[in-house]
Structure 1
């Protein structure tokens, strides 16, 4: 089989505006679906709007701020290896030179909000900002490669370790042809309640252009789920009914057909009749097309009766890994799951570093 390659221009995309990107902010679409008939399609979320600038600057600071005591205090020694604590044999650190950052003092409203959510709402939460969740940073916490967090420290560490969060903060309108000022963006912290037994095989990405579905892709492209082929038609029918009878009437109520473009992430469990909106993404090149290419999606026949619904079938994309550009060596990932391995890895790191320094001095 041969593959045809085509020149592809961004001009094939529908016009992208700042309003379109803003409409995909989590708070905006979540609040649109918050009424008695629609809230069942969302995941219960707790939102702190208009984050203080001190917290934004904290997230943007270089290096991961490690907790040094039980008071949720973080430090930044401005060193290249600040991610690692000193070994017991290393007494070279000057504690007086360490800059301590206490969330209770620097951004108390954020700290209080997070702690209140854990104490009164749910003991298991997943964090995100306006457009992105820190899916690329799940390796940083020892919770089975999930975005699950239990403490404010978990939340801070997850957010600070994510390139996706950095993109939200630095380049939210990067896909626009005309530059927009990011300084005027109001950022929100969203803590979503954890739902047990969420099955990654039942997450799907729905591509919508000019008010019509033009394709659906399996969300987890790393795995082939054979059983999905048996219920594919039922999933398609459920998505179609939700989109046409519920979503389009409530989300696009003030939009022309030409403006009805987005990428919708859904969780669809046929057995339990459970459908949830996971996320809404801008219809733009920076949104991952998963098992499609953007060229395939945008060059379809305009009057095609049935859109394509793709599931993994041992193709080339099945071997790729989500967020692989943000992965770390396997030894570090394994160590993050085992405190003893983490201590051993830290000790070995310092031993090799000291050996290298001695050889350089010799």
Structure 2
């Protein structure tokens, strides 16, 4: 097993260029045979203005329906609010056409994301099945309704905590993935430090009986290790610390890449804590080769309840400056500080 230096921090330094490595456009060509079919569309500054505009509005011509009069009952009767500025209107006919072409090529449905973030927090606004887009209007509605996506639009948020000077370049890109009804029970998140796969976590916070069969866990673990070694380890060209989400096939023998994410506070550590992951990485050299990666799953209904009652992305409630300062503390001291901050954040929530 490759060695990992014990001189590790809770989170590695992440530069602006490092973060760019996690754009779909940066890694898709190397992994397109083992990931979901996707198309990347560069976006212009007018689209950024649309994303920054107040309100959730759909650009003209995006809903695949004949235009209707926008004259409201109040306007027809004569409104007293003549001084109110009308909402800014947007239209992206060329982008609409491209989105429709891709939807048709991908069997009639796509799933969108921007540079790094998918609008999973806006799934409540889309009809069943959630997050499936059949028209350009569906795509825009999800993007405009998502706080996750808004994070990508604002450079001050997108590069928060990153090192390096602001080069003034922050282009947006729309990623359209072929839509599949994915079985969340077969999704896993893999944690990699210095190129070594140290941990695997079940992604969905539900209890599944099959996950708790010892032989099945060994099967899943081996399938992930084999896939990582064959398709990812020698082909990833970004920073050596990262996470990768996989979807296992029905027979649990193979996998497909869902996405790569930075090894950073913005990425949910799921069934591990980042302190635990640090401990695994620091002690990797002293472990037998068959001890890593450690696999963790929801092992009971009680565990499921506990996970579900924890605020999603609870680690994001901890101030970033505290996380960055953690390198100066020993593991025990930081764990105590971390736990106290999480308890306080949960209490406030």
Same fold (TM over 0.5): yes
1:184 matched residue in structure 2: 169
Instruction: Tell me if the contact between 2:112 and 2:118 (Cα under 8 Å) persists in the aligned partners.
Output: yes
- Per-residue deviation at 1:269? 2.0
Instruction: Tell me if the contact between 2:13 and 2:163 (Cα under 8 Å) persists in the aligned partners.
Output: no
Q: What secondary structure, in the 3-state scheme, does the structure 2 residue paired with 1:188 have? A: strand
Residue correspondence of structure 1 range 60-139 to structure 2 within 5 A = 60-65=52-57, 70-71=65-66, 92=79, 98-99=86-87, 101-103=89-91, 107-139=92-124
| 1:320 aligns with one of 309, 314, 318 | 309
Instruction: Tell me if the contact between 1:203 and 1:267 (Cα under 8 Å) persists in the aligned partners.
Output: yes
Residue correspondence of structure 1 range 132-147 to structure 2 within 5 A = 132-144=117-129, 146-147=130-131
- Per-residue deviation at 1:263? 0.4
Q: What secondary structure, in the 3-state scheme, does the structure 2 residue paired with 1:55 have? A: helix
Distance 1:291 1:62 in 2: 37
Greater relative CO, 1 or 2 (CA 8 Å, sep 6+): 2
1:288 matched residue in structure 2: 268
1:59 matched residue in structure 2: 51
Q: What secondary structure, in the 3-state scheme, does the structure 2 residue paired with 1:224 have? A: coil
1:302–1:61 distance in 2 versus 1, CA, 3 Å: same
Q: What secondary structure, in the 3-state scheme, does the structure 2 residue paired with 1:112 have? A: helix
Structure 2: which 5+ residue stretches go unaligned? 1-7, 315-349
Distance 1:229 1:318 in 2: 16
Distance 2:69 2:131 in 1: 21
Instruction: Tell me if the contact between 1:269 and 1:275 (Cα under 8 Å) persists in the aligned partners.
Output: yes
Distance 2:76 2:310 in 1: 39
Distance 2:311 2:139 in 1: 21
- Per-residue deviation at 1:33? 1.6
Q: What secondary structure, in the 3-state scheme, does the structure 2 residue paired with 1:249 have? A: coil
1:74–1:294 distance in 2 versus 1, CA, 3 Å: farther
Instruction: Tell me if the contact between 2:59 and 2:90 (Cα under 8 Å) persists in the aligned partners.
Output: no
1:272–1:88 distance in 2 versus 1, CA, 3 Å: farther
**Aligned residues: CA RMSD:** 3.2
Instruction: Tell me if the contact between 1:124 and 1:193 (Cα under 8 Å) persists in the aligned partners.
Output: yes
TM-score, normalized by length of structure 2? Answer: 0.74
| 2:251 aligns with one of 256, 266, 271 | 271
Distance 2:253 2:12 in 1: 33
1:119–1:244 distance in 2 versus 1, CA, 3 Å: closer
Q: What secondary structure, in the 3-state scheme, does the structure 1 residue paired with 2:235 have? A: helix
Q: What secondary structure, in the 3-state scheme, does the structure 2 residue paired with 1:238 have? A: helix
Instruction: Tell me if the contact between 1:136 and 1:162 (Cα under 8 Å) persists in the aligned partners.
Output: yes
Structure 1: which 5+ residue stretches go unaligned? 1-9, 76-84, 326-362
Q: What secondary structure, in the 3-state scheme, does the structure 2 residue paired with 1:250 have? A: coil
TM-score, normalized by length of structure 1? Answer: 0.71
Tell me if 1:228 matches 2:217: no
1:14 matched residue in structure 2: 12
- Per-residue deviation at 1:260? 1.3
Q: What secondary structure, in the 3-state scheme, does the structure 1 residue paired with 2:151 have? A: helix
- Per-residue deviation at 1:319? 2.1
- Per-residue deviation at 1:226? 1.4
Tell me if 1:161 matches 2:161: no
Instruction: Tell me if the contact between 2:22 and 2:260 (Cα under 8 Å) persists in the aligned partners.
Output: yes
Tell me if 1:30 matches 2:16: no
- Per-residue deviation at 1:58? 0.3
1:90–1:20 distance in 2 versus 1, CA, 3 Å: farther
- The superposition leaves residues 216-257 of structure 1 with CA deviations (integer Å, 9 ceiling, x where unpaired) of 111112x111111221111110110111122112224xx7xx
| 1:48 aligns with one of 32, 36, 41 | 41
1:243 matched residue in structure 2: 228
